[in-house]
Amino acid sequence: MNSKRNAPSAVRQGLVHTTRFNGYRCSLPPLLDAAGLAAMVAGARRILIKPNLVQTAPPPITTPVELVAALVEYLRGCTDIPIIIGDGTGSLQYETAACFEELGYRELAATHSLELLDLNGAPLKRLSRPELQRFPEIFLPKIAFESFLISVPVLKAHTLAGVTLTLKNMIGLAPPSHYRQQGFWKKAAFHHRIQAAIADLNRYRTPDFTILDATIGMPEAHIHGPSCDPPVNRLAAGNDPVAMDSYGASLLGRNWRKIGHIQALHTELGQAAPLEIQELRPDSPLPPE
C-alpha cells in the first residue's frame, strides 16, 4: 500500500458532509450514506477505527463510544470484513486497555465481536522519506497500512497545535518505544516542532475517512477547560482530511491558515479552501446509488 496517502481514489478535495445532531443512530447513517462510505470500504481487507482515546476522561475529551457503536452497526450493514478498534493512549499512568474499559469500548467489542488493539504495542513498520525534515524516518503500526483507516476525532482546540482534529488524531499511531523520549507523555517527541511533526506523520499515513464528532466541542484546550456553550451540535464526515480539519477549525472560530499542519498539507493531502460543505437536512433525499 502507498505509504503516503493510501486513501480512496475518489477523493473529492474540499468536500465536507455535515448534519445537525439528533442522536448518533439517527444522524450518522444518512450522513455516511451521503458521504459514500459503503462504497469506499468495498474491497478492503479490514477496517481500523481510530477514535481519540488520549486518556480515560469521558467525552468531550474522548470519542463517545455511542458514536463508534453507531458506526460499527452501519459498517456491519454493508460489509462483513473484520473491524478493529485501535488507539494508543498518551498517558504514562495506564495502558490503552484502561481507556477501552473505562469508556465502554470493552463492552462494545464484546457485543459486536470486535477486536480491540492497543496501537502502542502493535507490530511496527519502518518507513523513510529522506526529503522530510521532521521525520525522514518513522515507525508506525503495520496494521495501519493493512486496513481502511477511519478516524473518529472529537472537536477540540489544542494548546500547542491549535486544534486536535483528524490530522492530529494520527499521533495515536505513534509507538512510545520510539517517541516517548523521556517526556511526561507517551508520544512526547511530537511536542517538538509539533506542527511539522503532525504534517510529516500524515505524509506517511493519513486517514482514509473521517467522522468528526462536533456535538459538543472544546474551544480552549484538549484535556481541560470549558466545553462549547452552546454545544456545536453537529456531525461531519468526509474522505479529505485537510478539508475536515479546516472545517473543524472554523467551528472553533480558528483560521486554518494560522494552524501550521493544516496549512502545510493544503493542496498536498487535501484542500483546506475553498470548501464545498454539503448540509444534510432531515428532509434531504439521499444521493442516487
Mean pLDDT for the stretch of residues 177-205: 93
How far is it, in rounded angstroms, from Cα 223 to Cα 261?
20
pLDDT at 93 (0 to 100) = 94
The pTM assigned to this predicted structure is 0.94
Query: Environment class of residue 207 by beta-carbon count within 10 Å: exposed (0-12), middle (13-18) or buried (19+)?
Result: buried
Class of domain 15-279: alpha beta
| Contacts of 285 by beta carbon, 8 Å cutoff, 6+ apart | none
pLDDT digits (tens, 9 = 90+) for 211-233: 999 999 999 988 888 999 999 99
pLDDT at 157 (0 to 100) = 97
How far is it, in rounded angstroms, from Cα 63 to Cα 154?
6
Q: Give yes or no for residue 4 having a pLDDT over 80.
A: no
pLDDT digits (tens, 9 = 90+) for 80-97: 999 999 999 999 999 999
| Contacts of 288 by beta carbon, 8 Å cutoff, 6+ apart | none
Mean pLDDT for the stretch of residues 130-143: 98
pLDDT at 286 (0 to 100) = 46
How far is it, in rounded angstroms, from Cα 13 to Cα 79?
26
Cα 243 from chain centroid (whole Å): 13
Q: Give yes or no for residue 285 having a pLDDT over 60.
A: no
pLDDT at 181 (0 to 100) = 80
Q: What percent of the chain has pLDDT over 70?
A: 93
pLDDT at 109 (0 to 100) = 98
pLDDT at 31 (0 to 100) = 98
Q: Which residue has the higher pLDDT, 7 or 102?
A: 102
Place 243 in a pLDDT band, splitting at 50, 70 and 90: very high
The CA distances from residue 227 to 140, 206, 217, 230, in Å, are: 32, 27, 6, 8
Q: Give yes or no for residue 1 having a pLDDT over 50.
A: no
Backbone dihedral angles phi then psi of residue 34, each to the nearest 5 degrees = -65, -35
DSSP tag of 229: S
Supply the mean pLDDT for the chain: 93
The structural domains of the chain, with segments of one domain joined by +, span 15-279
pLDDT digits (tens, 9 = 90+) for 7-65: 444 577 999 999 999 999 999 999 999 999 999 999 999 999 999 999 999 999 999 99
Question: Where do the H-state alpha helices sit in 12-91?
Answer: 24-35, 37-41, 65-76
Mean pLDDT for the stretch of residues 264-289: 81
Is residue 142 classed as helix, strand or coil in its secondary structure? Answer: helix
Q: Between 105-112 and 65-76, two packed helices, what is the crossing angle to 10 degrees?
A: 20
Query: What type of residue sits at position 171?
Result: I
Query: Environment class of residue 106 by beta-carbon count within 10 Å: exposed (0-12), middle (13-18) or buried (19+)?
Result: middle
How far is it, in rounded angstroms, from Cα 238 to Cα 247?
11
Mean pLDDT for the stretch of residues 176-181: 92
pLDDT at 184 (0 to 100) = 80
